[in-house]
């Protein structure tokens, strides 16, 4: 894709900031001995609440869910920041954030035991972050600014040598 310099900077900054957010969310869960996805899942409402109960009541599924969250967020965050395998990282991040959204959507009539830190009606920060990841997916920048560029170069060079 051909971007102007400003467009490129904008996309890169967005990618790095989302990566930063994911990375710290992941690491803070990794270093906390008490963190578990159970509290979030227990408060789940709407379509996925049954799935959430199933996960929480099964220790194996719950530790799997904890593991996916802790390491998934950390890996997606680091990859987005570095611009490495960004396409996959963006999709993985999008899936995670959409899951957070759909496990606890801010729809009218759904009451949560933990109040939100802001005021949300249908749209919340998870949905916006998911949307931002979608934009990153549609307008990739890591093969221009990021480690993906380096690997693309290596592959291209390899092609030239053949």
Partner 1 sequence: MNNKENESNNTSSERRELLKSLATVPALAAFLIAFWQKWRRDALKKTNLLSNLVQEKVAPAVVSDVSNSKHLNLGIIGYGGRGHHLVRGAGFAHLGWTESAAENARKNKLDKAFATYMSQEDLNCSLVGVCDLFDVRAEEGIEASKNETRPGSKPVQTATRYHHYKELLANDDIDAVIIATPDHWHAQIVIDAAKAGKHVYCEKGLTRTFDEAINVYDAVKKTGITFQLGHQNRQVEANEKAKQIIDQGLLGPINLVELTTNRNSPWGAWVWDIHPEGNARTIDWDTFQEQAPNKIPFGEEALKRFFRWRCWFDYGTGLSGDLFSHDFDALNQIMEIGIPKYASSTGGIYFFKDGRDVPDVWNATLEYPDKDLTVLYSATLSSNNSRGNRIMGHDATMQMGGQSNAGSVSGFVVTADSESTQYKDRLESGIINPQYPIYTYTPGSKQIDGVTSATSRYFANKGLLYTYREGKRVDPTHLHIKDWLEAIRSNGQPKCNIEMAIHEAVSCHMATESYLQGRRIEWDPVNRKLI
**Where on the chain is the footprint of partner 1 (CB under 8 A)?**
12, 15-16, 19-20, 23-24, 27, 31, 34, 36, 38-39, 42, 53-54, 56-58, 62, 78, 81-83, 144-150, 153
Q: Which two tokens stand for residue 109?
A: 């009539």
For the bound state, the minimum distance from the C-beta of residue 27 to partner 1, rounded and expressed in Å, comes to: 7
If the CB atoms of residues 112 and 150 are measured against partner 1, the closer one turns out to be: 150
Residue carrying the six token digits 């600014």? 145
For the bound state, the minimum distance from the C-beta of residue 65 to partner 1, rounded and expressed in Å, comes to: 12
Work out the end-to-end distance of the chain between its first and last CA atoms, rounded to an integer number of angstroms. Answer: 26
DSSP assignment letter at 58: -
If the CB atoms of residues 14 and 98 are measured against partner 1, the closer one turns out to be: 14
For the bound state, the minimum distance from the C-beta of residue 38 to partner 1, rounded and expressed in Å, comes to: 5
For the bound state, the minimum distance from the C-beta of residue 12 to partner 1, rounded and expressed in Å, comes to: 7
For the bound state, the minimum distance from the C-beta of residue 137 to partner 1, rounded and expressed in Å, comes to: 17
Rounded to 5 degrees, φ, ψ at 115 are -65, 145
If the CB atoms of residues 81 and 127 are measured against partner 1, the closer one turns out to be: 81
Instruction: Return d(Cα 144, Cα 4) in angstroms, integer.
Output: 12
What residues have CB less than 8 Å from 43, skipping those under 6 apart?
A: 104, 112, 113, 114
Instruction: Return d(Cα 120, Cα 40) in angstroms, integer.
Output: 17
If the CB atoms of residues 68 and 98 are measured against partner 1, the closer one turns out to be: 68
Nearest one of 17, 25, 19 to 69, comparing CA atoms: 25
If the CB atoms of residues 24 and 88 are measured against partner 1, the closer one turns out to be: 24
């Amino acid at each position: 894709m051909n971007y102007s310099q400003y467009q490129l900077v904008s996309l890169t900054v967005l990618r790095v900031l989302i990566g930063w957010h994911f990375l710290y969310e992941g690491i803070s869960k990794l270093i906390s001995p008490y963190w578990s996805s159970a509290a979030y899942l227990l408060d789940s409402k709407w379509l996925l609440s049954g799935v959430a109960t199933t996960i929480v009541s099964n220790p194996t599924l719950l530790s799997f869910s904890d593991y996916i969250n802790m390491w998934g967020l950390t890996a997606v965050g680091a990859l987005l920041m570095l611009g490495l395998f960004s396409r996959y990282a963006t999709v993985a991040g999008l899936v995670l954030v959409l899951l957070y959204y759909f496990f606890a959507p801010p729809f009218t009539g759904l009451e949560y035991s933990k109040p939100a830190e802001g005021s949300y009606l249908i749209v919340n920060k998870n949905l916006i972050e998911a949307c931002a990841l979608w934009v990153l997916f549609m307008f990739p920048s890591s093969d221009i600014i990021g480690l993906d560029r380096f690997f693309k170069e290596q592959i291209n060079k390899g092609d030239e040598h053949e």
